[in-house]
Structure 1
Amino acid sequence: MNMKEKHQLEQLDETGNVKDDLMSDEELEDEEIEKPKSRKKPGIVYLSSIPTGMNPQLVREFLGVHGEIGKSFLQPIETGVKKKRSNRFSEGWVEFASKRVAKAVAERLNNTKVGGKRRTRYHECLWNIKYLPRFKWAHLNERLAYEKAVRQQRMRTEIAQVKRETNFFIESVDQSKKLRKKMDKLEGWNVTQRSTEEEITNRKASSQNQDRTEFLRNLFNPSKSSTS
């Protein structure tokens, strides 16, 4: 029994007559048409690696064959050159209009060849797709903001390290220049370097050895010493 037949039975009272205060068939059909349809919940899949040679447009074209696509984002690889846009991407997120479609796409395409034209670089690459349950774009925005803050902090640390090394080098150069000026002033002077403790000790020991040798010679050879 459909809704229309059920409504017709409800219109009859106990005597079998049609109730006056109930809606007509046309009004009932209009009510069914105006009833809002249940909205599909979107689903997001994660691409842990982007096939070589693919860009956001190609990713949307390949995945759009399987279902309607909403938002998408691919993380570019840093080139190290400021304001230079990279054409290579490390990972990505793609939103399908239907959560059921997103799950099916992840199960069907994961670890399968990308395909397409044979001469393209991504033809033999594999899809690495995973469905992300309860994932929101706000989560991605938070992650990107955190990674940006980490990169900025690392850059500030590296800049501070370079400044310290530069200042140390400049100070070393200044000290070297001052020392060279002092050496230039002393070049024309006859400066005798002070003997070290080791040199003084060696001279004393040598003098004592000579005196002892002379004493022993006089003791055992008195004739030679007197003749001389």
Structure 2
Amino acid sequence: MASPGKGHKRPRSESVQESYEVPPNAVASTSTLQPTQPSHDMAKPSASRPVKKRKKPTAGIIYISRLPPGMTPQKVRHLMGRWGDIGKVYAQRRDAPGGYNPDALRQMRQKHISANFSEAWVEFLDKSIAKTVASMLNAQVIGGKKGDRWRDDIWTMRYLSGFKWEMLGEQIAYEKQAHQARLRAEITRAKTEQSEYLKNVELARSIEKRKAKKAGGDSSLLKVSENTKTLSKGFKQRHAVEKNTLEGQDMDGVMNSIFG
């Protein structure tokens, strides 16, 4: 086989594959790099950095020591709701502070009952608003439109620092138990006084009976003696007839005619 000369060209199909080693410090061309997907690691906060959570506001309670006559808890909620978000509202009745109310059933059956509340507790969802409202409205007129019922009445309120709504329930339960204990003590004392009174009445009756019995025996003796006197005085005594009188002479004539 003849060796190829200088003028002979190598066919294109028979290309010589040459390998190149890429040095480790070499930088690849940007044309050969494929586009990378956008990483979501930058959007996410790192685990080491704490996430700040929004702190939930603490509730605060306002104590209203006096409610105008006729003001209901619904009206208190409406008036206080102008200044902030309201949680719970509780109003204490003036006629029944706690315990058993004998007229409660009758009052519930009545349709038209004038509200008669003495004091109230209002819970604001934010205690800072509660403090502001208490300091702003205390000793101020309620106000309102002309002709409103409580326009000229005055608020009397204060903020209860550190007071929770659960404490109010405990306080109401304690006052109710104390009222029931006082009621039981009053009932016991009334029963004792009544039993002592009845005992004294029975003793007085027995003494009166003894006196009447003793006085009745003496009076019977007196009545017997008086009856004997009246009987002795009731019979007529015949007097002796003298002979010198006409009646005596007639009697002598009768006797002589009989005995000769």
Superposition TM-score, scaled by structure 1 size: 0.64
Paired with 1:169 and 1:39, the residues of 2 have a C-alpha distance of 65
Paired with 2:212 and 2:120, the residues of 1 have a C-alpha distance of 67
Q: 1:136: which partner in 2?
A: 164
**1:102-181 counterparts in 2 under 5 A?**
102-181=130-209
- Give the gaps of 5 or more residues in structure 2: 1-35, 46-50, 109-113, 220-260
Paired with 2:94 and 2:67, the residues of 1 have a C-alpha distance of 11
Q: Assess if the C-alpha contact under 8 Å between 2:93 and 2:118 holds in 1.
A: yes
Tell me how far 1:147 sits from its aligned partner.
1.1
RMSD of aligned Cα (Å): 2.8
Tell me how far 1:24 sits from its aligned partner.
4.5
Tell me how far 1:116 sits from its aligned partner.
2.5
Tell me how far 1:47 sits from its aligned partner.
0.9
Q: 1:97: which partner in 2?
A: 125
Paired with 1:189 and 1:68, the residues of 2 have a C-alpha distance of 89
Amino acid across the alignment from 1:160:
T
Tell me how far 1:66 sits from its aligned partner.
0.9
Tell me how far 1:53 sits from its aligned partner.
2.2
Q: Assess if the C-alpha contact under 8 Å between 2:69 and 2:115 holds in 1.
A: no
Query: Are 2:57 and 1:57 aligned?
Result: no
Q: Assess if the C-alpha contact under 8 Å between 1:42 and 1:95 holds in 2.
A: yes
Tell me how far 1:159 sits from its aligned partner.
0.7
Paired with 2:148 and 2:190, the residues of 1 have a C-alpha distance of 43
Q: Assess if the C-alpha contact under 8 Å between 1:53 and 1:121 holds in 2.
A: no
Tell me how far 1:21 sits from its aligned partner.
6.3
Match of 1:189 among 208, 217, 237: 217
Q: 2:89: which partner in 1?
A: 72
Tell me how far 1:19 sits from its aligned partner.
11
Give the total of aligned pairs.
168
Q: 1:43: which partner in 2?
A: 60
1:17-66: CA deviations, max 9, x gaps?
x99865254x56xxxxx975332222211112112321100000011011
Percent pairwise identity: 36
Q: Which has the larger radius of gyration?
A: 2
Paired with 1:141 and 1:58, the residues of 2 have a C-alpha distance of 22
Counterpart secondary structure, 1:187? helix
1:117-141: CA deviations, max 9, x gaps?
4444422111112122221012112
- Give the gaps of 5 or more residues in structure 1: 1-17, 29-33, 192-228
Q: Which has the higher helix share?
A: 1
Superposition TM-score, scaled by structure 2 size: 0.57
Paired with 1:179 and 1:69, the residues of 2 have a C-alpha distance of 71
Paired with 1:190 and 1:49, the residues of 2 have a C-alpha distance of 73
Amino acid across the alignment from 2:169:
N
Paired with 1:154 and 1:43, the residues of 2 have a C-alpha distance of 32
Q: Assess if the C-alpha contact under 8 Å between 1:41 and 1:97 holds in 2.
A: yes
